[in-house]
Amino acid sequence: MNSKKIALVTGASGGLGSAFAEDLARRGYALVLTARKADAMAALAERIRASQGVEVVVQPADLSQAEGVKELTAALDASGLSPTVVVNNAGFGLHARFAEQDADRVASMLRLNILALTELTRFYGQRMMAAEGGHILLVASVVAHMPAPLLAAYGASKAYVLSLGEALHVELAPKVGVTVLSPGYMETGFDAASGFQPTPATRRTALLPAKVAVIGLDALFKGQPAVIAGNANKLIATIGKLLPRTLVARRFYKATAGRYRGH
């Protein structure tokens, strides 16, 4: 891969990750796709090569495992691949009462959502600083902006992502651009993985992953510190900041508890 414009997308086997990959290809970036599902990424890579004519490398990795990031970065180094854009998109959620959640699943989620994202951001952020250029997009969530009962650990992990990214936007500037994207509900694989059942009102706020990807990448390349995708989600996040957090938590719980499969 000879291109000087190389984008690494994590969680690239479907949903928002696929949308990021397709939009970056349209912007002229060669791609490195990583996720656990190699077959899904291979199909996406073939489609992008055919439609956009860019180089695409598929590098399967399980970033929820302790050595996942080290194995991924070692494989990319061995192939001579040095991303100039990193999209930290991989993550999953758990929708259940905290005390009822499986300890191993919680640990796996936190390793992926927090530790893997942090390790990749540090690893490539350091290299981008040395090269005096690069961009990193961190994917948080609208629930990063408020306490979220029944999504408590997931929401907390995304609040970490938001805080980290906003700090690094200042710390790594001007050489490296860091932006945090906070999507709301989307029709992806999140529901099946988390056990979340959206209300009709939540479904009405849904944006297509392709639209969310464009919002996030536009903000990244414009140098914005953070962006919330969709007007409804911006309103939700604003209300979450203006009202007392205990009140927000109670209202969130009341709105979602009836949809909880374990309720």
Q: List CB contacts of 208: < 8 A, sequence separation 6 or more.
A: 19, 186, 187
260 is catalytic: no
Of 175, 11, 184, 197, nearest in space to 92 by CA = 11
What's the burial of 69, exposed, middle or buried (CB within 10 Å: 0-12/13-18/19+)? buried
Task: Work out the burial of residue 39: count CB atoms within 10 Å of its CB; fewer than 13 is exposed, 13-18 middle, 19 or more buried.
Answer: exposed
Catalytic option among 124, 154, 160, 185: 154
Distance CA(75)–CA(38), nearest Å, equals 15
Distance CA 254, CA 242 (A): 19
| Residue 64: C-alpha distances to residues 15, 54, 89, 225, 256 (Å) | 18, 29, 13, 26, 27
Q: Are 19 and 210 in contact (CB under 8 A)?
A: yes
The tokens of 15 are what? 């949903």
Dihedral in degrees, nearest 10, Cα atoms 237, 14, 106, 140: -30
Which residues are the active-site residues?
A: 154
